[in-house]
Amino acid sequence: MKKVDHIGIAVRSIDEVLTYYTETLGCPLLKIEEVASQKVKVAFIDAGNIKLELLEPLDDTGAVAKFIEKRGVGIHHIAFGVENIEQRMTELRDKGVQLLSEHAGPGAGGAMVAFLHPKSSNGVLYELCEKQ
Ligand code: CMX
C-alpha cells in the first residue's frame, strides 16, 4: 500500500458535526460532494497528513445507513491509497481476501475504489482508492 489516504467516519448529519471539525479542532473543510453510487454525502476534512471523510447517508438503504443503525456513528473505514487498483485487487483475492466487488468503481473525489470485507480483514472495513 502507498499510504493511508483517508479515514471514513459515519455521521448522521454533516451539517451538525462540521463545526466540531472546522472550529473546535481547527481542521479546514476541503469539499463536500454527493456520491450517489455509495448513497452518501461526503465532506473531506484536512487533518494535516491525512484526510477525514465524513459520511452522511443519503437514504436508509445504503451501507453507511446500515452501519449507523447497527453500530452507531464513528469510524467506518480506512482507505489505502494505491496504484494499479485492479492489480492490487487480484493480488489480494489470490491471497484469500474477500473483496466486495469484482472490479473497482467510482468513489468520492473522482477516485476508483474497492472494499475489502471486514470479515476477511479482522473486523476492519478497508478501502482501496486510486486517484485518477
Ligand atoms: N467496519 C467493520 N465491520 C463492519 C462494517 C464496518 N464499516 N460494516 C459492517 N460490518 C460488519 C457488521 O457489523 C457485521 O458483522 P456481524 O455479522 O459480526 O454483526 C458484518 O460486517 C456484516 O454487516 P451487515 O450489517 O450485515 O452488512 P452487510 O453485510 O450488508 O454489509 C459491508 C457490510 C461491509 C459489505 C457493507 O457495509 C459495504 O458494502 N461496505 C462497502 C461500501 C461502503 O462502505 N460505502 C460507503 C463508503 C463510501 C466512500 O468512501 O466513497
Tens of pLDDT, residue by residue over 64-91, are 999 999 999 999 999 999 999 999 999 9
Q: What's the CA-to-centroid distance between 23 and ligand 1, angstroms?
A: 30
Q: Which atom of ligand 1 is nearest to the CA of 67?
A: 8
With CA atoms as reference, report the closest residue to 43 among 85, 12, 69. 12
Cα→Cα distances 30→35, 65, 81, 93, 94, Å = 16, 23, 18, 33, 36
Q: What is the pLDDT of residues 87-107, one digit of tens each?
A: 999 999 999 999 999 999 999
**41 Cα to the center of ligand 1, angstroms:** 17
